[in-house]
Amino acid sequence: MSTPIEQRRILRTAIPGPASQALHARKLAAVSSGVSTGLPAYIERAAGGILVDADGNQLIDFGSGIAVTSVGNAAPKVVERVSAQVAELTHTCFMVNPYEEYVAVCEKLNELTPGDHPKRTALFNSGAEAVENAVKVARHYTGKDGIVAFDHAYHGRTNLTLAMTAKNMPYKHKFGPFASELYRVPMAYPYRWPGGPQHCADEAFDYIIDQIHAQIGEENTAAVIIEPIQGEGGFVVPPRGFLPALAQWCRDNNILFIADEVQSGFCRTGDWFACDDEGVVPDLVTTAKGIAGGMPLSGLTGRADIMDTIHPGGLGGTYGGNPVACAAALGAIETMEELDLCSRAREIEAILRADLEKLAAIYPQVGEIRGRGAMIAMELVTDRETKEPAAALTAAINKACHAQGLVTLTCGTLGNVFRFLPPLVISDELLHEGMSILADAFAASV
């Protein structure tokens, strides 16, 4: 076991320090320029809410490696199970020789995902791969081709999922042509809906289903896929009632409702899944990120009658549901249950919101604070009336936080959303310290 990491921010050098800079020089010479790094402080160890870099700096983690280490980095139960597993069995390929850990993760996903109907699961390696398989299954089951995705959506970087992802730079630029029969409709985005949130609540659903009817046709639409709270696109939360209405409309029209819970799942929003908030029960759910405490694993869980229409051999892959990744998932899920991390996500929301409201009272650049649980964001604008996106300010605050050893992330199609995704095991003290660094960064950047 390595020595425990004190849950305290420590700055020993400028960020990034000399050791990180030397590593970064090697990175530039060895790694494709296409793979960029938000904050080139090279991390050696991490736990709880702290990342320790190559210069011995201790950074506060407000990103969880993009919503992955919800149970904390190197979480004890994950370490224990992974260590035991890796010493016993590292790989067979589940399609060649099966093993219990794969089945146990599927059982857990069937139990925890929304709805108490019979379900089946298949495991993969990444969020994008789970989404790809959701599309395959939806087309196979319905016998239809059309897939509807939303403005501001993010579903991955493979060719099919790029067709579903909305943002050009940096994801899609010059990487086309993209897969066909993917259609995009407006997102129910209250802050930016013409006329504002009340209009969005009143109009978005009707407008969107009219678009699907007119441009694709229900009889050509296999599935509608939506992130119940959008991630990369800006933590957009649709108005209450929108998701239940959309799910019902899909049911009425023999269209599958797919929830992409890759970012919003596993306690992140204060529920096991973001769909739980309004009791929405999707036909298919994709999961990844928080599922396995940092090991690569993803799942596609769905109604048994849908998932079991696929012919034997139709779903799979060499590494999908690798035993070590499955052991990590079992350890991560056990941690979420034992520490009641859904409740902790709600406590984190209360702390973050209180400090963000203070910023909003001082700075007119805070256009909106939104999100749920430990998936909270503020959208920044140059002017509350025009809502002109303040992308440069967002980037400047982010940079100022990084310089003070606070690892923060931005998002949004317009690059003007500042997001908070701390590990759910972070201490109150680190949350408060991080928010005070943010306040200083804001003051220095406006």
Q: Does 132 bind ligand PLZ (CB under 6 A)?
A: no
The secondary structure of the chain, three-state, reads CCCCCCCCCECCCCCCCHHHHHHHHHHHHHCCCCCCCCCCCCEEEEECCEEEECCCCEEEECCHHHHCCCCCCCCHHHHHHHHHHHHHCCCCCCCCCCCHHHHHHHHHHHHHCCCCCCEEEEEECCHHHHHHHHHHHHHHHHCCCEEEEECCCCCCCCHHHHHHCCCHHHHHCCCCCCCCCEEEECCCCHHHCCCCHHHHHHHHHHHHHHHHHHHCCHHHEEEEEECCCCCCCCCCCCCCCHHHHHHHHHHHCCCEEEEECCCCCCCCCCCCCHHHHHCCCCCEEEECHHHHCCCCCEEEEEEHHHHCCCCCCCCCCCCCCCHHHHHHHHHHHHHHHHCCHHHHHHHHHHHHHHHHHHHHHHCCCEEEEEEECCEEEEEEECCCCCCCECHHHHHHHHHHHHHCCEECEEECCCCCEEEECCCCCCCHHHHHHHHHHHHHHHHHHC
- Specify the stretch interacting with ligand PLZ by CB under 6 A; choose among 28-36, 99-107, 125-133, 188-196: 125-133
Of the candidate residues 58, 126, 269, 445, the single one contacting ligand PLZ (CB under 6 A) = 126
Q: Does 260 bind ligand PLZ (CB under 6 A)?
A: yes
Supply the minimum distance, in Å, between the C-beta of residue 177 and ligand PLZ: 20
Of the candidate residues 231, 239, 323, 367, the single one contacting ligand PLZ (CB under 6 A) = 231
* Site of tokens 């529920």: 271
Of the candidate residues 49, 63, 72, 156, the single one contacting ligand PLZ (CB under 6 A) = 156
Supply the minimum distance, in Å, between the C-beta of residue 163 and ligand PLZ: 13
Query: Within 44-103, which residues bind ligand PLZ (CB under 6 A)?
Result: 66
Supply the minimum distance, in Å, between the C-beta of residue 78 and ligand PLZ: 18
Supply the minimum distance, in Å, between the C-beta of residue 232 and ligand PLZ: 5
Of the candidate residues 209, 258, 280, 288, the single one contacting ligand PLZ (CB under 6 A) = 288
Supply the minimum distance, in Å, between the C-beta of residue 43 and ligand PLZ: 17
Of the candidate residues 263, 301, 365, 413, the single one contacting ligand PLZ (CB under 6 A) = 263
Of the candidate residues 48, 114, 127, 331, the single one contacting ligand PLZ (CB under 6 A) = 127
- Specify the stretch interacting with ligand PLZ by CB under 6 A; choose among 108-116, 142-150, 155-163, 393-401: 155-163
Of the candidate residues 232, 277, 349, 368, the single one contacting ligand PLZ (CB under 6 A) = 232
- Specify the stretch interacting with ligand PLZ by CB under 6 A; choose among 154-162, 182-190, 337-345, 393-401: 154-162
Of the candidate residues 78, 105, 131, 341, the single one contacting ligand PLZ (CB under 6 A) = 131
The closest residue (CB) to ligand PLZ is 127
Binding mask 208-227 vs ligand PLZ (x if CB under 6 A, - otherwise)? -------------------x
Q: Which residues bind ligand PLZ (CB under 6 A)?
A: 66, 126-128, 131, 154-157, 227, 231-232, 260, 262-263, 288
